[in-house]
Amino acid sequence: MKFTEEHEWLRPEDDVVVVGITEHATTQLGDIVFIELPEVGTIVTKDEEVVVIESVKAASDITAPIDGEIVEVNTALADNPGLANEDAIGAGWFFKIRPADPSQLDSLMDEAAYNALIA
């Protein structure tokens, strides 16, 4: 897995990358009450806003960690946005993206570097 300074995690699976937010991020946000996901087929550019999250504490935007095409979204979050709190790195994933340039993943943090960031 790879991580961003914005507390997103990325897990490569075959030719796509699964993206969500870390447990640290969900702790900072508190109980998530609404998640607006991108449309499947959307072409995104790194650092472009792709997800809107509302929690009991704040509203927050999630940006695209890499360039690519959104190929799937986690529709379970529409009915149960708290799933992101309950299982941030598992069932609470946000979207799957087909990278335009897979080498962009190389510049992201590994787990040890991310743990050092949040320490």
Q: What pLDDT shows up at residue 63?
A: 95
Rg, the chain, Cα only: 13
Q: Which fold has domain 2-100?
A: OB fold (Dihydrolipoamide Acetyltransferase, E2P) (2.40.50)
pLDDT tens figures, 23-55: 999 999 999 999 999 999 999 999 999 999 999
Residue 35: phi and psi, rounded to 5, are: -135, 125
Tokens linked to 24:
């640290």
Which one, of 87, 21, 91, lies nearest residue 51 by Cα? 21
Q: What pLDDT shows up at residue 58?
A: 87
pLDDT band, very low/low/confident/very high, at 8 (cuts 50, 70, 90): very high
Q: How far apart are CA 76 and CA 64, in angstroms?
A: 20
Q: Which of 55-59, 62-66, 81-85, 97-101 has the lowest mean pLDDT?
A: 55-59
Which one, of 46, 32, 116, lies nearest residue 79 by Cα? 32
pLDDT tens figures, 87-103: 999 999 999 999 999 99
